[in-house]
Amino acid sequence: MTDIIINGAQGKMGLLIKQIIEEQYQDKARIVQLRDKDTAQPAPKADVIIDFSLPSGALAAYQTAKEIKAALLCGTTNLDEAFLSNLKEEKEIPVFYSANVSIGVFLFGKLLQEACALFKDYEPQMHEAHHAQKKDAPSGTAKALAKLINFPQEEITFERIGTVPGTHILDLHSHNGDETITITHKALDRRLFAASAVKIALWLAGKKPGFYDMKDFTENLL
């Protein structure tokens, strides 16, 4: 049985993760604490902390994980570069970080790299859309995808509308204007992110100390 702390438990992702664990993983995992990002509750012993909160909450989750020797899965976006460097250099506990925990988004990034290499004379444009309540714009996922193909983050276009879980689009325009190639990833339900997060957390809990990302998680799946 894997004991899990959910940090940012009142957020959309935190609530979905709790629901997924209770519905699908009763025999493999149990929640030992639900924490808000600014909680003063002492943490119980746990195998892994799942954090989807704010940068300040992610830092608190990291500090707690170090204190109780738990693994940390962090999916919080817009983290400070210095904090990200600390995560990547971690040697005492297993740490996983990704701006997006969807396997589909990971593969989408691979497709973008391949497409830009094949159509290197085409002009890229990147666009993303998310629900109206999403605070960061462009999204952390869009920034990460842009970094993969050396696309300037400040040129990402975006919209915040309705309840859209997340759509990312890359257009490749020929210079003569004859054609456009469009590659799209569209999330249809936020539950896919929560389900992936739980799978990764269970996988991470048994890993050696160090830093892990989506490449490490997917290498035995693909």
pLDDT in tens, 120-160: 999 999 999 999 888 889 998 999 999 999 999 999 999 99
Between CA 118 and CA 105 the distance in angstroms is 20
199 a catalytic residue: no
Q: pLDDT > 90: what percent of the chain?
A: 80
Q: What is the pTM of this model?
A: 0.86
Q: Which residue stretches of the chain are H helix?
A: 12-24, 55-68, 81-88, 103-118, 140-148, 191-204, 214-218
- 168 is an active site residue: no
pLDDT tens per residue, range 25-58: 999 999 999 888 555 677 899 999 999 999 999 9
Among 200, 126, 221, smallest CA distance to 168 is for 126
Catalytic pick from 18, 37, 134, 185? 134
| Structural domains of the chain, ranges and CATH numbers in brackets | 2-101+191-218 (3.40.50.720), 103-187 (3.30.360.10)
Q: What is the pLDDT of residues 169-180, one digit of tens each?
A: 999 999 988 999
CB 207 within 8 A of CB 51: no
